Amino acid sequence: MTRPLHDLTWDNSFARLPDAFAERVAPTPVTEPWLLAFNEDLAATLEISPSVAADPAFARWIGGLDQLPGTEPLAAIYAGHQFGVWVPQLGDGRAILLGELTTSSHQRWDIQVKGAGMTRFSRMGDGRAVLRSTVREYLAGEAMHGLGIPTTRSLAIVASDLPVYRERAETAAVLVRVARSHVRFGSFQLFASRQQFAEVQQLADYVIEHHFPEFLALPAEDRYAAWFREVVDRTARLMAAWTAVGFNHGVMNSDNMSILGITLDYGPFAWFDDYDPAFICNHSDSSGRYAFDQQPRVGLWNCARLGEALLSLVPEEAAVAALESYRDTFELAVDGLIRAKLGLARRLDGDAALIRDLFDLMHQTPVDYTRFFRLLSAATASDPDTITAMHVELDDPSHSEAWLQRWIARVAAEPASDLERRAAMEAVNPKFVLRNWIAQEVIDAAVARDTAPFEQVMALLRRPFDEHPGMERYAEGPPEGTVEVAVSCSS
């Protein structure tokens, strides 16, 4: 069942919270909006008819020229630690929640327009998003979804010739962002910092009722502690998933952490090309606070800040116990993911050393992270060509030969055949990820109103584990002569 634009069903539960939680504000229109991207896959989930993409009213609605009946636009307030520094009030400075779309199966989805204009939380900002950052977020959400990692997604982008000034003059765009909820760690931090503990409980009750109903049956003295433990565990598992695919978020401020444990707020992100555990994708991060190998630690640090904000509801002993569970949850999850990438279904003595030595080898070489694991999936002792390909990838056979022989001997102890192992490994080792050079190529074309590369890349990101013959160049690192794409907090 799909519905046209004016038959959508809205139920704006967040808008029914008291005024302290948000500012009611309508989007500010952009000039002459045109539809750059429409996500038919997500539209089907939302039960929105694909014909909506051809309806001129759709672009006008996203662009803020019209308000869709049933929506109740608002900008949420929150606070947070930005690069470890406490900022007592933040909020949706360029994003406006239109409302919650409900489907026939009673699923609820936040529909938010990002780049929709100024709110009272904009501080010194202009409330706009540039086409560059909007395309990056749209692609990143779909790339993450294709990899099976929890994330916000995007329904559409409208572009405009409205000028926006960042490091240089660019043009505006508005993103339609979709998630079950946009509530953040910082949403709780704000009210706790003001000692507004009634509001902390009201927000917690709201989140539990709508997103964690399994805890409603627990008595109050246990409910909030169990819920916090679940948030901590989800965050730990998310960090493990990022680690396994080589993803660097780049700006893990506590206001960018989702209470649902999903990837939120794509800005200066990057997937690895060459493996480097100390990789910093954000040129604004001069201290390396959000370097790749720091993300698990920062995830825990942010959970601790959330725990502090919930101490009026969660006993300190229970909060500490939840935080102490984080490390075990993360290590168990990341160990399982890396084992799957290596084709190790059984747990045998020596596995930990095999894994550790591989990552040391990849760091020394260096080696393209995504391509290495994809090639390893096909490597077998009976096919010398696959082993040769691995040596070429690792650059120096004198370093790689010993490890490859250890790995071949190890997977021989698995009950699966080579064909079964290859299929299992290729199902978890993507051939394609959203490399920065690919995103930039799509952006450059979109600026010229050429959407063909956008659709081509989207086909890869939706099914990143498939081969996609003829598209091999997208599985490679930056083409020779490509200037490194610098991403910062304005990205």
- The 10s digit of each residue's pLDDT in 35-65 is 999 999 999 999 999 999 999 999 999 999 9
**456 by DSSP, 3-state: which?**
helix
Average pLDDT along the chain: 94
Kindly tell me if the per-residue pLDDT of 491 is higher than 60: no
Q: What whole-number distance in Å separates Cα of residue 317 and Cα of residue 469?
A: 55
pLDDT at 483 (0 to 100): 63
**266 by DSSP, 3-state: which?**
coil
> First CA to last CA across the chain, in angstroms?
37
Query: What would the mean pLDDT of 464-476 be, rounded to a whole number?
Result: 96
Kindly tell me if the per-residue pLDDT of 24 is higher than 80: yes
Residues above pLDDT 90, as percent of the chain: 87
pLDDT at 65 (0 to 100): 96
Q: Which residues fall within 8 angstroms of residue 164, CB to CB, at 6 or more apart?
A: 126, 128, 129, 130, 170, 171, 172
Give one word for 47, left, alpha or beta, with left for phi > 0 and alpha for psi -120 to 50: left
**Span of 28-32, 153-157, 187-191, 218-222 with lowest mean pLDDT:** 218-222
Q: How far is CA 277 from CA 270, 299, 362, 367, in A?
A: 13, 16, 10, 12
| Better pLDDT: 483 or 454 | 454
Query: What would the mean pLDDT of 214-235 be, rounded to a whole number?
Result: 96
**Span of 158-172, 358-372, 388-402 with lowest mean pLDDT:** 388-402
Query: Quick one: which H or E segment has residue 377?
Result: helix 369-378
pLDDT at 29 (0 to 100): 97
Q: Are 238 and 232 in contact (CB under 8 A)?
A: no
Domain ranges across the chain: 5-182, 186-340
Kindly tell me if the per-residue pLDDT of 258 is higher than 70: yes
**Span of 54-58, 87-91, 431-435 with lowest mean pLDDT:** 54-58
Give one word for 111, left, alpha or beta, with left for phi > 0 and alpha for psi -120 to 50: beta
pLDDT at 365 (0 to 100): 85
289 band by pLDDT with thresholds 50, 70 and 90: very high
392 band by pLDDT with thresholds 50, 70 and 90: confident
Tell me the whole-structure pTM to 2 decimals.
0.96
Question: Residue 171: beta bridge partners?
Answer: 163
- Half-sphere exposure for 35 (CA within 13 Å, toward CB): 17
Query: What would the mean pLDDT of 289-317 be, rounded to a whole number?
Result: 98
Per-residue pLDDT tens over the stretch 293-303: 999 999 999 99
Q: How far is CA 172 from CA 75, 163, 436, 452, in A?
A: 19, 6, 21, 20
pLDDT at 486 (0 to 100): 64
389 band by pLDDT with thresholds 50, 70 and 90: confident
Pairing of strands 22-23, 75-76: antiparallel
Question: Does the annotation count 255 as an active-site position?
Answer: yes
Indicate which residue of 255, 285, 368, 418 is catalytic.
255
pLDDT at 398 (0 to 100): 74
Query: What would the mean pLDDT of 285-299 be, rounded to a whole number?
Result: 96
265 alpha carbon, distance to own chain's centre: 7
Kindly tell me if the per-residue pLDDT of 466 is higher than 60: yes
Q: What whole-number distance in Å separates Cα of residue 110 and Cα of residue 258?
A: 13
pLDDT at 86 (0 to 100): 98
Kindly tell me if the per-residue pLDDT of 421 is higher than 90: yes
pLDDT at 399 (0 to 100): 73
pLDDT at 479 (0 to 100): 87
pLDDT at 244 (0 to 100): 98
Q: What whole-number distance in Å separates Cα of residue 173 and Cα of residue 125?
A: 15
Query: What would the mean pLDDT of 102-115 be, rounded to a whole number?
Result: 95
